[in-house]
Chain A
């Protein structure tokens, strides 16, 4: 393990991007870092709002058409190596908002996240449980730590 990976493993920065879901997943994810019960900070996982500081991008929501460009820009602003986690059923497959009438796709939704940026880990659930999110972050870590 190089010195870079060694230090990176001790300061994983999560960035949460919200792309038009229902708020439920976002609050659970913020809760997972801020609430003393789950307290992700004890595993050296920190919440940041600056893409240039972030290692892991957590995307929630079905990505509405207006949110597509900002999401791409944020993804490009994150330095390599980076991992992307799609959290919640909206981010995985558009949730209830996409294709609700069978064949007719929604006019508002550009997602799911996979269509826009590459996704490394998927966390299912409506809304995601904080425990699931933590295990999703852990499963994306090898990509970050084995990069160099």
Chain B
């Protein structure tokens, strides 16, 4: 490269750095956008500010305590974490939980999926600077939060699952079932109205169509998970393989474009599926006890469990030694979606960069894990 070209290079290569604390991002993380003529040429997301060392804290705790602690990893998919952690222990200890408990866990998980997706719609609309849609989404979400508070006793951390079943305070009696059914009707109606308004708004649809596109090939290569993967056209949902979801009929929705529009529509279309699962669950709720306390603790090797959570695939793994947890590994969905966030920014206008990051439903709080990647 000669001298003249070099100086030119320096002029057009501009770096826009956001973070770690920045108005556009709720959570602290660092984004570096390499910009040329206001078009993003490369993006880099750095995390690590939130690292609290949950795995380190879990080391050596009694398994019941450790399960409760996993819930504090994330305030959005807290039920998913405790569920998967309990499932891991149950797998190792070979515990069969009562069918009614399994149904209640599925109901909680689907309610959580509703609240996560509605939060995505609200947050996404806020990033789009469309505050009316944002307020509408938050208003619909309030119904779900009330149902979660009714069952779990708290609006965010519910602590429903315990080893062997669910907590007795989360038993669903007739009045609770009736309230859930009423809530589902209300949410279905409101979400349909919201979606109608959203897709028939030409300004919003023009703004989001074709922005932040990811192809199915790239998504597979980057190991994107969850709705962000399904929005690119790949049919993958771990709920199809999970034992808990066997009694329920539901469709796995896929869309083709993988842009912000498809990501938003993906969440909108998944909401009726979740509502249908909850309806089937409360209709066929089996009778019987909700917790089986006849299990015995024993030492196990390394056990692990994958489940589908609102944002993708969640992985927990640990070994049990005298009832204590050893060597925890947790992998959260946003960890594998970071690659997609970086890729989605490339080629878009710099003002759309935040939208491209938000389209993959990031939760950097979950993601700050100590993971050492060894290139071989």
Binding site for B on A (CB under 8 A): 17-28, 30-31, 34-37, 49-50, 62, 64, 66-67, 70, 74, 95-97, 100-101, 106-109, 126-127, 129
CB-contact partner of B27 in A23, A95, A100, under 8 A: A23
Q: Report yes or no: B142 in contact with A106, Cβ–Cβ below 8 A.
A: no
Task: Please give me the residue from chain B that is nearest to A35 by CB atom.
Answer: B138
Q: Report yes or no: A66 in contact with B20, Cβ–Cβ below 8 A.
A: yes
Binding site for A on B (CB under 8 A): 20-24, 26-28, 48-54, 57, 60-61, 69, 72-76, 78, 119, 122, 126, 131, 134-135, 138-139, 141-142, 145, 154-157, 363, 365
Task: Please give me the residue from chain A that is nearest to B75 by CB atom.
Answer: A24
Interface of B, secondary structure class, is loop
Q: Report yes or no: A23 in contact with B74, Cβ–Cβ below 8 A.
A: yes
Q: Report yes or no: B157 in contact with A67, Cβ–Cβ below 8 A.
A: no
Residues in B whose Cβ lies below 8 Å from that of A49: 22-24
Nearest Cβ on chain A to B47's Cβ, whole angstroms = 11
Q: Report yes or no: B135 in contact with A35, Cβ–Cβ below 8 A.
A: yes
Residues in B whose Cβ lies below 8 Å from that of A26: 26-27, 75
Complexed CA–CA distance, A101 and B73 (Å): 17
Complexed CA–CA distance, A34 and B78 (Å): 22
Given A96-B69, A97-B57, 15 further pairs, Cβ under 8 A: A17-B21, A18-B28, A19-B28, A22-B73, A23-B363, A24-B76, A24-B157, A26-B75, A31-B138, A31-B142, A34-B134, A62-B52, A67-B50, A106-B53, A108-B52
- In the complex where A20-B28, A23-B76, A100-B57 touch, is A64 in contact with B138 (Cβ < 8 A)? no
CB-contact partner of A127 in B27, B28, B75, B142, under 8 A: B75
Residues in A whose Cβ lies below 8 Å from that of B155: 28, 127, 129
Residues in A whose Cβ lies below 8 Å from that of B50: 20, 64, 67
Q: Report yes or no: A21 in contact with B365, Cβ–Cβ below 8 A.
A: yes
CB-contact partner of A107 in B27, B53, B134, under 8 A: B53
Nearest Cβ on chain A to B314's Cβ, whole angstroms = 15
Residues in A whose Cβ lies below 8 Å from that of B76: 23-24, 27
Complexed CA–CA distance, A96 and B52 (Å): 10
Would you give 22 A-B contacts (Cβ < 8 Å), ordered by A?
A: A19-B28, A20-B52, A22-B73, A22-B365, A24-B76, A24-B78, A24-B157, A27-B75, A27-B156, A30-B26, A35-B141, A36-B142, A49-B23, A64-B50, A67-B21, A67-B49, A70-B20, A70-B28, A97-B54, A108-B53, A126-B154, A127-B155
